[in-house]
């Protein structure tokens, strides 16, 4: 049985995560992102651009998915989380997720008008490990 601790430990180790959105024609779109800035309960926070294509897609349709995997020599493990993405542009959220290296992408710093935060709320998911898959609901995880 999947536990919240397993999920959080796995996601906390990832360097990149795939995020998926739905485009205007109803098709899935995927993009690699740096690992979540912060994970709190069922919320995963990412840094992005207000001008990004994904931002426009999430504003139109908040349905989202994130996926992370780890491929070892003899073992593959993948976690898919399904939920909704919200775009945060308030100063408190931006300051809360800001990291020093972000100035490379946002020249005006934390106040850059093109800087925003994606807040993904996981609702349910699926874990694949050792040739087995298991579905789970976030509210039911121990």
Please spell the DSSP secondary structure of 84-118, one letter per residue.
EEEEE-SHHHHHHH--GGGGGT-TTGGG-TTEEEE
Condensed to tens digits (0 to 9), the pLDDT of residues 53-80 reads: 999 999 999 999 999 999 988 889 999 9
Q: What is the pLDDT of residue 53?
A: 97
Query: Locate tokens 């996601």: which residue?
Result: 11
CA distance linking residue 111 with residue 127, whole number of Å: 38
Per the rule left: phi > 0, alpha: psi between -120 and 50, beta: everything else, 33 is beta
Q: What is the mean pLDDT of residues 80-107?
A: 96
Q: What are the structural domain ranges in the chain? A: 4-140
Q: What is the pLDDT of residue 129?
A: 95
CA distance linking residue 71 with residue 92, whole number of Å: 36
Does residue 125 surpass a pLDDT of 90? yes
Q: What is the pLDDT of residue 72?
A: 83
CATH no., domain 4-140: 2.30.110.10
Mean pLDDT across the chain: 96
Query: What's the pTM value of the predicted model, to 2 decimals?
Result: 0.94
Q: What is the pLDDT of residue 61?
A: 98
Q: What is the mean pLDDT of residues 95-107?
A: 94
Q: What is the pLDDT of residue 108?
A: 95
Q: What is the mean pLDDT of residues 74-99?
A: 96
Q: What is the pLDDT of residue 12?
A: 92
Does residue 34 surpass a pLDDT of 90? yes
């Amino acid at each position: 049985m999947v536990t919240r601790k397993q999920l959080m430990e796995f996601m906390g180790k990832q360097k990149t995560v795939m995020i998926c959105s739905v485009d205007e024609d109803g098709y899935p779109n995927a993009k690699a992102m740096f690992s979540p800035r912060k994970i709190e309960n069922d919320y995963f926070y990412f840094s992005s651009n207000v001008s990004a294509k994904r931002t426009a897609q999430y504003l139109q349709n908040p349905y989202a998915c994130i996926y992370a995997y780890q491929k070892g020599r003899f073992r593959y493990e993948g976690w898919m989380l399904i939920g909704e993405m919200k775009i945060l542009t308030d100063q408190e959220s931006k300051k809360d997720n800001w990291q020093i290296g972000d100035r490379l992408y946002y020249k005006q710093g934390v106040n850059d008008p093109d800087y925003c935060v994606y807040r993904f709320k996981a609702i349910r998911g699926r874990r694949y490990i050792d040739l087995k898959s298991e579905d789970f609901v976030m509210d039911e995880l121990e």
